[in-house]
């Protein structure tokens, strides 16, 4: 595959991932109750939108046609406006800004929504129960969704960087992946403080079916 075509393909996937996250964040912010979570989401959405705009400028400066590229709904109306090539500079200056967390103590907890879970389903399969469907999204679901967005975006940006042979684009994608990792860690800390992210307990009697375990059982 020719150089340039490959970059356009992987960058399109990166834009699709980030654009979807930005649009979903609008929904999250409209339903978020906790002030600290709202502050995190607002800060992360602004950073992601800035990264998308910078990435679009870099693509244009490298001669990649951005017409029809997946963009957030808030950018759809202005994305088609042409940009003078002389005003665009690429290189290390065009890499995405490093994402940093806010200083400790700047965000306070608010009256967050209380998450209530129903009894676990019995049997080997968990059936979907229409009666337990929530009437409104709550803060735990919002934080979980935002965290998964960043995990997926970090993976997408990393794979895109590995597939790109253009140094400036590869550097920008690497920075985007690193920023996604930082934003996911910020959400993890928030969820951990709330008790929403807990690791499963270590199985006391784990059954292994590996040949080695069957041949040499523990004494």
DSSP readout, the chain?
--TTHHHHHHHHHHHHHHHHHHHHHHHHHHH---HHHHHHHHHHHHHHHHHHHHHHHHHHHTT---TT----GGGTTTTTS---GGG---SGGGSPPPP-PPPTTSS----PPPP---PPPPSSS----GGG--SS--HHHHHHHHHHHHHHHHHHHHHHHHH---HHHHHHHHHHHHHHHHHHHHHHHHHHHHT---PPPPPSS-----HHHHHS---
Ranges 16-25, 117-126, 127-136, 203-212, most confident: 16-25
According to the model, what pLDDT value does residue 178 have? 97
Residue-range definition of the domain harbouring residue 190: 1-75+138-196
In a domain, 110, yes or no: no
Measure Cα distances from 23 to 30, 51, 150, 177 in Å: 11, 14, 14, 19
Query: Residues of 51-77 as b/e, b for ≥16 C-beta within 10 angstroms?
Result: bbebbbbbbbbbebebeebbbbeebee
In a domain, 168, yes or no: yes
In a domain, 67, yes or no: yes
Calculated CA dihedral for residues 206, 196, 50, 65, nearest 10 degrees: 40
- pLDDT digit string, tens, across residues 81-94: 434 333 333 233 34
Flag whether pLDDT at 100 surpasses 90: no
According to the model, what pLDDT value does residue 98 have? 74
In a domain, 172, yes or no: yes
In a domain, 112, yes or no: no
According to the model, what pLDDT value does residue 136 have? 72
Flag whether pLDDT at 104 surpasses 80: no
CATH number at residue 23: 1.20.1260.10
In a domain, 106, yes or no: no
In a domain, 123, yes or no: no
Q: What is the pTM (predicted TM-score) of this model? A: 0.69
Q: How many domains does the chain have?
A: 1
Ranges 70-74, 106-110, 152-156, most confident: 152-156
Instruction: Determine the average pLDDT of the residues in 142-151.
Output: 97
- pLDDT digit string, tens, across residues 8-66: 999 999 999 999 999 999 999 999 999 999 999 999 999 999 999 999 999 999 999 88
Flag whether pLDDT at 164 surpasses 80: yes
- pLDDT digit string, tens, across residues 166-216: 999 999 999 999 999 999 999 999 999 999 998 888 888 888 887 765 555
Flag whether pLDDT at 118 surpasses 50: no
In a domain, 84, yes or no: no
Cα 122 to Cα 62: distance, rounded to the nearest angstrom: 57
According to the model, what pLDDT value does residue 55 have? 93
According to the model, what pLDDT value does residue 208 have? 80
Instruction: Determine the average pLDDT of the residues in 1-14.
Output: 84
């Amino acid at each position: 595959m020719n150089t340039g075509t490959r970059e356009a393909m992987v960058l399109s996937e990166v834009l699709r991932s980030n654009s979807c996250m930005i649009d979903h964040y609008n929904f999250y912010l409209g339903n978020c109750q906790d002030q600290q979570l709202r502050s995190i989401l607002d800060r992360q959405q602004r950073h992601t939108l800035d990264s998308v705009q910078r990435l679009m400028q870099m693509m244009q400066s490298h001669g990649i046609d951005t017409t029809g590229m997946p963009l957030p709904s808030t950018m759809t109306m202005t994305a088609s406006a042409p940009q003078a090539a002389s005003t665009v500079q690429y290189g290390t200056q065009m890499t995405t800004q490093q994402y940093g967390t806010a200083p400790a103590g700047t965000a306070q907890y608010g009256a967050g929504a209380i998450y209530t879970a129903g009894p676990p389903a019995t049997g080997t399969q968990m059936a979907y129960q229409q009666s337990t469907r929530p009437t409104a999204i709550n803060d735990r679901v919002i934080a979980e969704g935002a965290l998964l967005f960043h995990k997926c975006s970090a993976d997408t940006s990393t794979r895109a960087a590995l597939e790109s042979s253009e140094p400036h684009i590869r550097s920008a994608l690497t920075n985007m992946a690193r920023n996604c990792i930082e934003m996911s860690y910020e959400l993890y800390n928030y969820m951990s403080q709330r008790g929403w992210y807990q690791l499963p307990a270590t199985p006391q009697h784990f059954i292994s079916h590996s040949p080695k375990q069957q041949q040499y059982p523990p004494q």
